[in-house]
Structure 1
Amino acid sequence: MQNIDPNITALLADWQKGDQKAVNQLIPLVEEELRRLARQYLRKEMPNHALQATELVNEAYLRLVDQDRTTWKNRAHFFGIAAQMMRRILLDHARNRQAAKRGPEIKLSLNEEIMAQPEVNMVALDEALKELSRIDPRQARIVELRFFVGMNIEEAAEVLQLSSSTIKREWRMAKAWLYRYLNQD
């Protein structure tokens, strides 16, 4: 996320003011980063996932364009919202496939930095994040930014307007909490 053109923040502000030209200029600037996020998400999915990165980006873009009540703070905020939308799209897709097949739940592979186990059910992860959000909304947001968006400690600190040491501490606690929650019988 560090190689993104700094003009994105200005274009987001212009978009908010209703400037359609800003939206048209913004799309090519954010498209590659959105594709990177989509590929990152899809790498964590089971290999036989039906969605492709382009489909995921397109669906997220359509949802982003409908965001008329969002006040874009900066590019990190924009990509954070985009990543949340991608997560919701994948979750909806997982639930729909699960309901259609009535078979085993779709799994999402988590990197070992988050969990010691290689895979976790996407629906279970969403439930865990909802529970964590109820208990500690800031930790849940940090998980979204670090794991789903792929932000580093400093980027997450910037978005949440917290110190890097606070993000590191909360990140460690959130990972431990999620591990316990997802591994309880």
Structure 2
Amino acid sequence: MNERTPTAPQHVRTPADVKRMAEELMPMFYADMKRLARHERHRVGAGNTLQTTALIHEAYLKLLRSPSFNDRAHFLRASALAMRHVLINYAHENLAEKRGGGAIVESLTASHDIGIQDDQSLIDVHEALGRLALLDPRLAEVVECRFFAGFSEEDTALALGISDRTVRRDWIKARAWLRRELADDDPATRQA
């Protein structure tokens, strides 16, 4: 997201206000959300059946059900969560269609991403993220923003109200925790 983007109004309380605010904010952030959604759709392997526009529109519908947006950061955070839910729901639906899907293949690289190779891997990351949220909610929020919404360090910091350096440190910690957690869940890495 860029610096010239207008900020959201400060206090929204009624459902009608939420809808009006979402309708006002979506055009402002649409190009950024489309770029992020396209990147995330390809990165998590959503394939050709989940189009970028569909991801954005599904996220928008989820945003309309949000209780309120206090500011731009809150809207960004809600957008990240909405994209995460849409991608997870999509993966669940695909696995249900395939009656269990294929083999689980996890690839947690040393780079700045958590690799996803199939729908089951995406669901595994989602479930591990739920466990991480119980241990350290902020680490889970950083993963949600960076991984599921594709936010930059700066946008993640803005959405969460923390510094860029804290985002960097938390992202490193969270990736390491997820690598360990997902390796523990992988039957191929367990000793019999």
Q: TM-score, normalised by structure 2?
A: 0.77
State the 4+ residue runs in structure 1 displaced beyond 4 angstroms.
12-17, 19-24, 105-111
Structure 2: runs of 5 or more not aligned:
none
Q: 1:95 aligns with which of 78, 92, 103?
A: 92
Stretch moving more, 74-83 or 152-161: 152-161
Find the aligned partners of 1:97 and 1:60 in 2 and give their Cα distance.
Answer: 18
Equivalent in the alignment of 1:27: 26
Equivalent in the alignment of 1:152: 152
Q: TM-score, normalised by structure 1?
A: 0.80
* Structure 1 position 56, deviation (Å): 1.0
What secondary structure, in the 3-state scheme, does the structure 1 residue paired with 2:17 have? coil
Task: Give CA deviations for 1:38-65 in whole Å, capped at 9, x if unaligned.
Answer: 1121111326341101111111111212
Find the aligned partners of 2:88 and 2:154 in 1 and give their Cα distance.
Answer: 28
Equivalent pairs counted in the alignment come to 180
Q: 1:55 to 1:101 in 2, by over 3 A?
A: same
Equivalent in the alignment of 2:62: 63
* Structure 1 position 28, deviation (Å): 2.0
Find the aligned partners of 2:154 and 2:160 in 1 and give their Cα distance.
Answer: 10
* Structure 1 position 160, deviation (Å): 2.5
Q: 1:19 to 1:29 in 2, by over 3 A?
A: same
Task: Give CA deviations for 1:70-128 in whole Å, capped at 9, x if unaligned.
Answer: 2x23223212211211111111111111112113168898773134x664610111011
Q: Superposed, which structure 2 residues align to 1:65-80 within 5 Å?
A: 65-67=64-66, 69-70=67-68, 72-80=69-77
Q: Does 1:85 align with 2:77?
A: no
Find the aligned partners of 2:86 and 2:18 in 1 and give their Cα distance.
Answer: 27
Instruction: Answer whether contact 1:46 1:107 (CA < 8 A) is retained.
Output: no
Q: Superposed, which structure 2 residues align to 1:1-20 within 5 Å?
A: 1-3=1-3, 5-6=5-6, 8-10=7-9, 13=11, 18=17
The higher relative CO (CA closer than 8 Å, separation ≥ 6) is in 2
Aligned-residue Cα RMSD (Å) equals 3.0
Equivalent in the alignment of 1:104: 102
Instruction: Answer whether contact 2:43 2:116 (CA < 8 A) is retained.
Output: no
Equivalent in the alignment of 1:172: 172
Find the aligned partners of 1:180 and 1:164 in 2 and give their Cα distance.
Answer: 25
